[in-house]
Amino acid sequence: MDRDQASQHQTGKDRTTVDPLAVVSGFARESRSLWSDARSRLLRNPVAMAGGAVSILLIVVAIAAPYIAPYDPIHQDLANSLAGLSMKHLAGTDVHGRDIFSRIIYGTRISLQIGFLGMLLGCVVGVILGLISGYYGGWWDTIIMRLMDVQLAFPGLLVAICIIAIIGPGLENVIVAVGIFSVPLFARVTRGQVLSLKEQEFIVAARMMGAQDGRIMLNHLLPNAVAPLLVLCTLRIATAILTAATLSFLGLGAQPPTPEWGAMLSDGRAYLAIAPHVATIPGLAILITVLSFNLLGDGLRDALDPRLRV
Amino acid sequence: MLRYILRRLLYMTPILFGVSLVIFLILHLVPGDPARLVAGLDATQEDVKIVRSSLGLDRPLPVQYLSWLGSLLHGDLGRSARTHRPVTQELRLTFPATVELTLSATVVAVLIGVAAGTIAAVRRNSVFDYTSMVVALLGVCTPSFWLGLMLMLVFAVKLDLLPTTGRGGLENLVLPAVTLGAGAAAIIARVTRSSMLEVLGMDYIRTAHAKGLAARAVVLRHAVKNALIPVITVIGLEFGYLLAGAVVTETVFAYPGVGWLLVEAIGFRDYPVIQGALLLLALQFALVNLVVDILYAFVDPRISYG
């Protein structure tokens, strides 16, 4: 229902604008919804489709990790320490003889989990704050947006490190940290959407019909803010994954023997001269994942609204 | 102009207050007894008691905050729980290294970014354009710690041209500066390219071509000047982000800067040092942004100072 409503409002706004020339010539363009327009634009963008395909593949790998990983990711085989790439160990082994390929597969699970959950946390909190800030305005708006400004005044990584310094290292805490540093962006985008929507007729009409504030915000305002939020969500997954890997690399995130990419890379540093693959492969995994979500996000942005710049 | 600067300073005050409050609260938000945290993990019961009364940790929070702020303004950040040296001394030892690294990374980023972006725009749709934009895209997505290790692997381990870690002469700075500057170079290249493309399409550029100026002169003397205005903002912003990125790069190369100090301190739960390092980095970031805003107003006369 959300989607239909969203597209209807959007259609009412600008998507049905009929080409005057077409009317004159008797061929009015068939009206299409925002989403089907966006879908066809996205399908025509090969770079974004490639990003999307790899993203989906990564999600499948993450879900099916126990079935496709050839070895137990934390099983040690010290006789096979630091083995190179072979048919038996596709990506070699680390210093404890653990199969790096299996660890990368399980690492996909960890990284995507952090990326999705961190993004979701930032999205939920940010959207609620943005809705309140934009809808009620006044003091609510001032207080919430000033708080967001203070956080946005500093680089995300520094904010995340500060949060970890307070709540301590660990995987769950990394999710909280990347979630919190995403909050201001979601709040800002939501607030901007609410401000541009709340004086429009359909909102005024809803209010006249006696809809409660909460209902207006969730049923009428939020569905219309979905497009830019979706773009932001995709891009934030990439940022969250990269930041989480960075924190783990610094020793502030996943702790051994967790097969987290950043932590694996950090482990490989000591053996750079004798077994460079230990550090190289997890880095490639991070790069591919971040790149594919970024490409998908950029493509979604161009498809949903070419004017939009998050 | 003076009014603009003053207003900008005024605008910064609440942000700095917010930051100081958050950093002050770190000690009280961490689970456990703050006095024990400050005294260090190996402190005896006696030490903890002394720390508690000397820091006034038994007083109400607002009073503590004000006295903390007071000693902060006198340059007193407490003592490291690990080395027992004053935090200010620890920061003074590491800060120059971070500034050196950040500045050289900025130079690397600007040189590569502006040059690549300009050439890509002038030779639009050429092989160079496509290659540099793909590399720029990869540059944004590459984890800097991985890039650092790969550069170390090639230039220090395999080719044995540069030292792997530590701080010393210029040769110690090359790899960290390139590692840190790469991401910023990628962003600067993209902004330069799009800004150049916009400027190159303008009438006055066509006029310059029409009056018979050499293509080189048109680009270097007429286009670049105007195309660089938005690039300056990005450079300023990136400089700030490089300060945060330095935390990672310094750890990769065991380069003794403030970021390295911060990560070490978190590992040892050395809270006075954590607070000091975060405060210094945050302050520096805010100051850089202030300077960039003011510079921007100087460079672009269209900005009103009102």
Q: Are A236 and A122 in contact (CB under 8 A)?
A: yes
- Mean predicted lDDT score pLDDT of chain B: 85
pLDDT of residue A29: 53
Q: Are B56 and B14 in contact (CB under 8 A)?
A: no
Chain A residues near residue B271 by CB distance under 8 angstroms: 165
What's the pTM value of the predicted model, to 2 decimals? 0.84
Q: Are A82 and A267 in contact (CB under 8 A)?
A: no
Residue range B192-207, pLDDT digits in tens? 999 999 888 888 888 9
pLDDT of residue A1: 35
Q: Do A291 and B29 touch (CB under 8 A)?
A: no
Look at the alpha carbons of A18, A21, A26, A27 in this order and tell me if their dihedral is positive or negative: negative
What mean pLDDT do residues A123-127 have? Answer: 96
Residue range B107-127, pLDDT digits in tens? 999 999 999 999 999 898 899
Which candidate from A166, A287, A291 shows the least CB-CB separation from B29? A166
Chain B residues near residue A272 by CB distance under 8 angstroms: 149, 152-153, 157
pLDDT of residue A13: 40
Instruction: Using an 8 Å CB-CB cutoff, list residues of chain A that contact chain B.
Output: 146-147, 149-150, 153-158, 161-162, 164-169, 238, 242, 245-246, 249-252, 262, 265-266, 268-269, 272-273, 276, 279-280, 282-283, 286-287, 290-291, 294
pLDDT of residue B302: 66
Locus of tokens 């987290």: A260
Q: What percent of chain A has pLDDT over 70?
A: 88
Q: Do A161 and B285 touch (CB under 8 A)?
A: no
* Residue type for position B74: H
For the cut 70, the answer to whether the pLDDT of residue A114 exceeds it is: yes
pLDDT of residue A139: 92
Q: Do A283 and B146 touch (CB under 8 A)?
A: yes
ipTM at complex level? 0.83
Q: Residue B14: name the closest of A150, A155, A187 by CA.
A: A150
Sorted by sequence, the CB contacts under 8 Å of residue A212 that are 6+ apart come out as none
Beta bridge partners of A99: A93
Q: Do B141 and A290 touch (CB under 8 A)?
A: yes
What mean pLDDT do residues B265-291 have? Answer: 86
Which of A10-19, A134-143, A182-191, B97-106 is predicted least confidently?
Answer: A10-19
Question: Which helix or strand (DSSP H or E) is residue A145 part of?
Answer: helix A138-152
Residue range B130-149, pLDDT digits in tens? 999 899 989 888 999 999 99
Cα-to-chain-centroid distance, residue A74: 28
pLDDT of residue A234: 92
Q: Centre a 10 Å sphere on the Cβ of residue A249 and count the other Cβ atoms it contains.
A: 31
pLDDT of residue A307: 57
Beta bridge partners of B86: B79
- Shortest distance between the Cα of B97 and any Cα of chain A, in A, equals 18
Cα gap B87→A214, rounded to integer Å: 50
- Shortest distance between the Cα of A157 and any Cα of chain B, in A, equals 6
pLDDT of residue B186: 93
Provide the chain B residues 28-47 that lie in CB contact (below 8 A) with chain A: 29-31
Q: Are B280 and B91 in contact (CB under 8 A)?
A: yes
Q: Are A97 and A76 in contact (CB under 8 A)?
A: yes
Chain B residues near residue A287 by CB distance under 8 angstroms: 138, 141-143, 146
**Minimal-distance CA residue of chain A relative to B25:** A166
What are B177's two structure tokens? 């500066």
